[in-house]
Structure formats: structure tokens, C-alpha cells
């Protein structure tokens, strides 16, 4: 089963309404990373910079999407939740957000999928996210710990 960027984007907009409001646009999804964009407009604060909560939420959504899209690609519908996150803001951002989420470790998706199909135990996956501005300067970053919940069969 292949899941297209457009199909996953539609899924996000339908299932997590704030994603559409924040105007997150997925650009590329592969087995180890996601690239996305978001305009500053709906994510701006009173200082005319990106609201820290928006950059944090967008990084969380991208990390979650990386894992969820791979599960869906393999025909699994397990829930994915954020377990912990360490977020840093490096520089005030005054323009659109370029977001990258990448697996912290090399994961063997086939092994992970087999484990999820045969066990009810949750699986932990770490994702590194970063937001760059339009000048390719790092503005915020997050190390996220996500949990794929086991099936309740």
C-alpha cells in the first residue's frame, strides 16, 4: 500500500483540524523523513514573529506524521502518541517555516511492523525535528519521543 503526500495531507486536515488552520503543507514523505512548509501568517504572535507554540505544535505534528504515514503505508492503524519532547528556540523567526522531521535512529520498518503485528507492546520511536527560516537558519528544534501503541486485538 502506498500513501501519497496529498492523501496524507487530506487525512491530517480531516483528523486534526488545527493543521489546516495553521496551513501546514506536506512537501515530501519518505521512510526516514518528512519535509513541510507553513506560512507565518496563521502562526504569528504579538511581536510579529512565529509563535513558539505554533513551531512546537508543527514539529510535533510532523514527527507524528512521519511515523503514522509509515504505519498506514504498511496497512497498520495503530495509534501514535507523543510521549516526551525537548524543544529549543534558537532564533526569533520572522518568515515562513521550513520543517523537517527525521528519525533519530535508523529504523528497520519491516522489523518494527512485524513486532507490532505480533505483540500488543508499545514501540518507542525518536524523531528529530527542526524549523528553518527562509535563509536556512535554524530557528527551533525538537527531540521527540513517540510511542506506537500496540493493537488491542
Tens digit of each residue's pLDDT (9 = 90 or more) over 13-40: 999 999 999 999 999 999 899 999 999 9
Measured between alpha carbons, how far is 44 from 107 in angstroms, rounded to an integer?
35
- What domain count does the chain have? 1
Average pLDDT over residues 66-85: 94
Domain assignment present for residue 153? The answer is no
Predicted pLDDT at 153? 43
Contact, 125 vs 67, CB < 8 A?
yes
Domain assignment present for residue 35? The answer is yes
CATH code, 115: 3.10.129.10
The domain in which residue 101 lies consists of 5-148
Measured between alpha carbons, how far is 38 from 54 in angstroms, rounded to an integer?
10
Please say if the pLDDT value at position 111 is more than 90. Answer: no
Amino acid at each position: 500500500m502506498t500513501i501519497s503526500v496529498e492523501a496524507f495531507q487530506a487525512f491530517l486536515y480531516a483528523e486534526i483540524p488545527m493543521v489546516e488552520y495553521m496551513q501546514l503543507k506536506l512537501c515530501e514523505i519518505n521512510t526516514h523523513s518528512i519535509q513541510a512548509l507553513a506560512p507565518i501568517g496563521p502562526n504569528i504572535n504579538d511581536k510579529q514573529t512565529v509563535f513558539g507554540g505554533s513551531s512546537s505544535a508543527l514539529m510535533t505534528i510532523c514527527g507524528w506524521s512521519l511515523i503514522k504515514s509509515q504505519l498506514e503505508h504498511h496497512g497498520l492503524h495503530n495509534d501514535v502518541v507523543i510521549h516526551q519532547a525537548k524543544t529549543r528556540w534558537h532564533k526569533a523567526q520572522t518568515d515562513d517555516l521550513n520543517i523537517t522531521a527525521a528519525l533519530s535512529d535508523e529504523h528497520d520498518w519491516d522489523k518494527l511492523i512485524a513486532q507490532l503485528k505480533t505483540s500488543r507492546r508499545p514501540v518507542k520511536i525518536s524523531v528529530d525535528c527542526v524549523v528553518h527560516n527562509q535563509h536556512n537558519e535554524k530557528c527551533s528544534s525538537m527531540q521527540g519521543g513517540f510511542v506506537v501503541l500496540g493493537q488491542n486485538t
